[in-house]
Amino acid sequence: MAGTTGKRPTTAHMIADPERMRSEILVARAAGRRIGFVPTMGALHSGHVSLVDRAAAECDDVAVSIFVNPTQFAPHEDYGRYPRMLEADATALEDRRVRWIFAPSAEGIYPPDFATRIMVDGPARRFEGEIRPGHFSGVATVVCRLFIAVPADVAYFGAKDWQQTLVVKRMVRDLGLPIEITVCPTIREPDGLAMSSRNAYLSPTDRGRATALAESLALAERMWAAGDEPAAIERDMTDHLRSRGVDVDYAAVVDGESLEPLANTATAAVALVAGRLGGTRLIDNRQLPTRRGTG
């Protein structure tokens, strides 16, 4: 049964070649093993580890990919300085029942004459899609490529990147990709800051201010429960973020699946927030329960 066999901790097997990775997964699946896959860009933190532990609890074998994907960064973004620490990441995964670490080169994923890109719309259209044009196309392309190299039964993504989870689920549905998607809860620091590899960029002062994102989401939750309209909630979230020195990209309360304005209260809502502190861009979100009486 998945998750009950082979529980002994092991050191993961590091693989760079996509074809070799694929054949190892297919051999394991042919032997009846359920495979869980955790795609990452490395710089692993407790949020990633929680995905790995969930995969290990639900699957027989776990594969983790570590690949800083160039196609999801715009030229002015942080691709060059994104933390790369493969050895430390491998150490962080020791004793966690990870069977494979897939760490391909950029050329392994994108050969020199690579000419294909997945276009995405729907949940990719607003928010990160507007502020980071091409970002979700890059995410969808690499995730599809990774799903081919790691043909697992189920892939695990963190709810912290809520819009990304919607884009990936829509791609899987639209293209009929044979993989399940499981979305796992956001892991937070004790003061509420959502775990992110980019938190390491924050200066001590900005790290102190960064709790403003989670605070604005807690405010949204309270106002939502009190029956306030999305526009009023968004205004107060923005005011709070600005008062803490956050340069706000957006603070929104929208339909939790389409990310479009709320048409009625029968659909689940989500509060989304993004902003910059110093040179660091942070995002966060919170699910809001369905309620009656507000359109």
- Please identify which residue in the block is written with the tokens 């051999």: 27
Do the Cβ atoms of 210 and 199 come closer than 8 Å? yes
- Going by C-alpha positions, the residue among 179, 188, 193 that lies closest to residue 55 is 179
Nearer Cβ to ligand PAF, position 39 or 151? 39
What is the DSSP track for 47-99?
A: HHHHHHHHHHHH-SEEEEEE---GGGS-TTSSTTTS---HHHHHHHHTTTT--
Q: Residue 212, interface with ligand PAF (CB under 6 A)?
A: no
In sign, the C-alpha dihedral spanning 250, 82, 198, 43 is positive
- Please identify which residue in the block is written with the tokens 């942070």: 282
Q: Residue 139, interface with ligand PAF (CB under 6 A)?
A: yes
CB of 50 to ligand PAF, least distance (A): 14
Nearer Cβ to ligand PAF, position 157 or 224? 157
Do the Cβ atoms of 171 and 118 come closer than 8 Å? yes
Which alpha helices (DSSP H) does the chain contain, by range?
Answer: 18-30, 46-58, 86-93, 106-109, 128-131, 135-149, 162-175, 204-209, 211-225, 230-243
* Alpha-carbon gap, residue 117 to 203, rounded angstroms: 36
Q: Residue 142, interface with ligand PAF (CB under 6 A)?
A: yes
Point out which span in 34-42, 95-103, 119-127, 286-294 binds ligand PAF (CB under 6 A). Answer: 34-42
* Alpha-carbon gap, residue 57 to 207, rounded angstroms: 33
Per CB under 6 A, which of residues 51..110 are in contact with ligand PAF? 69, 72
Nearer Cβ to ligand PAF, position 147 or 224? 147
Q: Residue 137, interface with ligand PAF (CB under 6 A)?
A: no
Nearer Cβ to ligand PAF, position 41 or 233? 41
Point out which span in 51-59, 92-100, 139-147, 201-209 binds ligand PAF (CB under 6 A). Answer: 139-147
Among 15, 21, 25, 41, binds ligand PAF (CB under 6 A): 41
CB of 44 to ligand PAF, least distance (A): 10
| Cα→Cα distances 94→9, 10, 48, 52, 61, Å | 7, 7, 13, 11, 14
Q: Residue 280, interface with ligand PAF (CB under 6 A)?
A: no
| Tokens representing residue 185 in the block | 């809860």
Do the Cβ atoms of 255 and 267 come closer than 8 Å? yes
Nearer Cβ to ligand PAF, position 72 or 216? 72
Q: Residue 143, interface with ligand PAF (CB under 6 A)?
A: yes
Set 13, 45, 48, 240: catalytic member:
48
Q: Residue 283, interface with ligand PAF (CB under 6 A)?
A: no
Q: Element (H or E) spanning 126, and its range? A: none
Point out which span in 5-13, 135-143, 227-235, 249-257 binds ligand PAF (CB under 6 A). Answer: 135-143
Q: Residue 161, interface with ligand PAF (CB under 6 A)?
A: yes
Q: Residue 39, interface with ligand PAF (CB under 6 A)?
A: yes
Active site annotation includes 48: yes
Binding site for ligand PAF (CB under 6 A): 39-41, 69, 72, 139, 142-143, 161, 164
Residues identified as active-site? 48
